[in-house]
Amino acid sequence: MGKKLLLLFFCIFLLTACVTDSPAPITGIPRSRSLEASTVEQPYNEPIYKEESPPVPLAILHQIKNAQHGIYEPSDGIYLAAWLESHLHMRNFINQAGQNHAVFVQDIHLGDDIPVNWVLQCISVLATPLLVVLPPVEETDMPIGNKITQLAQRLGAFQLPMFVAFYPASSSHNMTPAEYAVIFRYARALFLEYAPLVAFVWVAPTVNSTARNPFFPGHHAVDWVGVSLFARRDNYGFAEDIVENFEFFYNSFSTHHPIMVLPLGVSHFSRADHSYHMTEAAEELLRVYQALESFPRVGLVAYADAFGISPTSNDDFAISIESYLMAAYAKATASDHFLRQLERDAYGPRWVRCTFAGYYWNGAVFVDVETLHNISLPIPRITIEINERNFVELGRIAGASFCEARRVVLIP
């Protein structure tokens, strides 16, 4: 009996030793409580070149001395911009991002009241407004021409530099190409009369658009050309390489107009797999912003801080509610190449992206011989073959340099 009591007391002691006064903690990271900014480990512009690695492609930029700049086109750099949901305050976003933004974006329907408070917010943070003007929600007795005139007069009354992306071709407008061109050109003429400080933007329907797109209203009616870039997810990761797709679009329009990305979005949550992918989204943000620095006529990039803004998906592109992604965005846009204020009068030469790429290989930079031929530079006698093409080492080209931060070769 004594042994049984001793055994019973021993069991009770073991059970009480396993009991704590506090419950077990809940594990996991709730949404909008991800990671602090300091925990994003990948630094901006970290060198990726290693000895004895395969050749790394590099963009080659050539300088044109007497090129004409578009209205508000920066002489060198990209305006940092953001498209926020209406309830978000610009100053809060700026504080989260750690840097001022040159432009903020808002959309309205033709016939709506001017968002005066939003324009005043832009002024208060020294940012330039960019209004995306969509077709009217419903028909009214007022003719379309009168609505456009009223909009131009009211925006012109501010006497401020602005951008207006009029009737993005990707939006639903139920017009034929001919009807669309007439309305767009008419709007452009009215803005020239009543709001001459407004730069007019045509937003292409897809990244595969060219100047031969039936909805392109003509070079004379356009100051800037815009396109949306959305890195959407599917069951296997990002569905496409948006930088690779953008290069075709850029080559189609950059000869005639400065380019804006309106907007850019990188998905971190998709209904394809109903999962969050913070790390992949942060890496894609860094990759895309750095890649855009190698397109010299990209003058503005507006990030879409919104859920479901893409017309073809329900992905979540918002970053302001995720500290991990805001930290990645802050790193991606920290380069001095991203401009914090509007440049009203661009001057000086302009850089042009060459057709053929260069390479970084085994500690040296090489330029395609065809590039030197195209820009009428002498070709050195000593060349090297890479991927069945002839290249010249950078040091043999007078005045040429390599910018590792932007990963581009500069040939004046």
Domains and CATH numbers, the chain: 46-67+349-412 (no CATH), 70-343 (3.20.20.80)
User: Taking the C-alpha atoms of 179, 185, 186 and 189 in order, what is their torsion angle to the nearest 10 degrees?
Assistant: 180
- Residue from 239, 295, 247 nearest 265 by CA: 239
Strands 408-411 and 56-64: parallel
Backbone angles phi, psi at 109, to 5 degrees: -100, 145
pLDDT in tens, 180-193: 999 999 999 999 99
What type of residue sits at position 172?
A: S
Task: Decide: residue 275, CB within 10 A, 0-12 exposed, 13-18 middle, 19+ buried.
Answer: exposed
pLDDT at 13: 43
pLDDT at 149 over 50: yes
pLDDT at 324 over 70: yes
The length of the chain is 412
Buried b (16+ CB within 10 A) or exposed e, 154-192: ebbebebbbbbbbbbbbbebebeeeebbebbebbbebbe
Q: Report residue 278 as tokens.
A: 């913070």
What is the mean pLDDT of the segment spanning 76-105? 94
Q: Which residue has the higher pLDDT, 26 or 362?
A: 362
Query: Cα 174 vs. chain centroid, distance in angstroms?
Result: 28
Instruction: For 142-170, give the DSSP string.
Output: S-HHHHHHHHHHHHHTT---EEEEES-TT
Q: Report residue 193 as tokens.
A: 């009369």
Query: Do 75 and 347 form a contact (C-beta atoms < 8 A)?
Result: yes
Share of the chain above pLDDT 70, in %: 85
What is the mean pLDDT of the segment spanning 255-277? 90
What is the mean pLDDT of the segment spanning 156-176? 91
Query: Cα 138 vs. chain centroid, distance in angstroms?
Result: 31
CA-derived radius of gyration, the chain: 27
Measure the CA–CA gap between 128 and 126, rounded to whole angstroms: 7
pLDDT at 52: 52
pLDDT in tens, 225-259: 999 999 998 888 888 999 999 999 999 999 999 99
What type of residue sits at position 180?
A: Y
- Residue from 399, 352, 350, 277 nearest 76 by CA: 350
What is the mean pLDDT of the segment spanning 380-395? 91
Task: Decide: residue 16, CB within 10 A, 0-12 exposed, 13-18 middle, 19+ buried.
Answer: exposed
Strands 384-386 and 389-393: antiparallel
Measure the CA–CA gap between 389 and 381, rounded to whole angstroms: 15
Backbone angles phi, psi at 183, to 5 degrees: -65, -40
Query: Do 349 and 76 form a contact (C-beta atoms < 8 A)?
Result: no
- Residue from 290, 245, 226, 263 nearest 85 by CA: 263
pLDDT in tens, 202-226: 999 999 999 999 999 999 999 999 9
pLDDT at 21: 36
Measure the CA–CA gap between 315 and 318, rounded to whole angstroms: 9
What is the mean pLDDT of the segment spanning 4-24? 40
- Paired with 80 in beta bridges are 301
pLDDT at 75 over 80: yes
pLDDT at 192: 98
pLDDT at 87: 81
Max distance between CA atoms of the chain, in angstroms, equals 107
